[in-house]
Amino acid sequence: MKKNNVYSLYLKLMKKYGRVGKWWPEWCCLKKSLNLRQEIALGAILTQQTNWHNVEKALNNLKKAKLLSIEKIGRLKNLAKLENLIKPSGFYRIKAKRLYTFCSFIVKQYGSFKKLMKQDLIILRPQLLTIYGIGPETADSILLYALDKPTFVIDEYTKRLVKQKKLAKKLSYDYLKKLFEKNLPVNVKLYQDFHALIVVDQKKK
């Protein structure tokens, strides 16, 4: 039998860390409230090239302002208030525009966040990728952690790990995504846990 480096890496990390980091346990759970799912989706945009610590401040500001809602953000008339609330997360002007574009897309195309959840991964992923400010990593993070869809997330940490372990020569997004998915059972919880473990492992270095 051909040995599977990707899957054995998952087992190794699972053995080493078990249940993972501070905010991951609730993300890596399949039963999440609608509010938490929206927080995760918005957080996925806010965390682009940004420390989680700063993102938390922005999310708390949104929560206090009762604006941690995709439908509310999608219906905003102007973005000044939103920009101000998310300032701690950096790139706040461009991120306010990205949040708004994402949220208004959902409102227009699906009517509500709840209806979006029912959409199929095959349809949804290409749709998300057409939205301004949603690249492959943000799309996959939203799909995997906010919507529990089986798509593997590739980020800078994953690339670093692949390089360290010499799992692949190419480091392009789609190539690595296929590599992981090809060598793992299709399982949302496993994808969630594995990606979280990679981040935790790489952060320690």
Partner DNA sequence: ACCCAGGTGGCCC
Partner DNA sequence: GGGCCACATGGG
Specify the residue, 109 or 112, whose C-beta has the smaller distance to DNA: 109
Specify the residue, 90 or 150, whose C-beta has the smaller distance to DNA: 90
Give the shortest CB-36-to-DNA separation in angstroms: 14
Contact pick of 54, 119, 127, 183 for DNA (by CB under 7 A): 54
Give the shortest CB-73-to-DNA separation in angstroms: 16
Total residues found in the chain within this entry: 205
Burial 113-149 (b: 16+ CB within 10 A, else e): beebeeeeeeebbebbeebeebebbbbbbbbbbbbbb
Contact pick of 32, 37, 177, 195 for DNA (by CB under 7 A): 195
Q: From CA 61, how far away is CA 201, in angstroms rounded?
A: 30
145 binds DNA, rule: CB under 7 A: yes
Give the shortest CB-130-to-DNA separation in angstroms: 8
What 25-32 contacts at long range (C-beta under 8 Å, 24+ apart), as own/partner pairs, is 27/145, 27/192, 27/196, 28/145, 28/189, 28/192, 28/193, 28/196, 30/148, 30/188, 30/189, 32/148
Specify the residue, 71 or 83, whose C-beta has the smaller distance to DNA: 83
Specify the residue, 4 or 80, whose C-beta has the smaller distance to DNA: 80
Residues in contact with DNA by CB under 7 A are 23-24, 27, 47-54, 57, 87-95, 131-139, 141, 145, 153, 155-157, 170, 172, 195-196, 199, 203
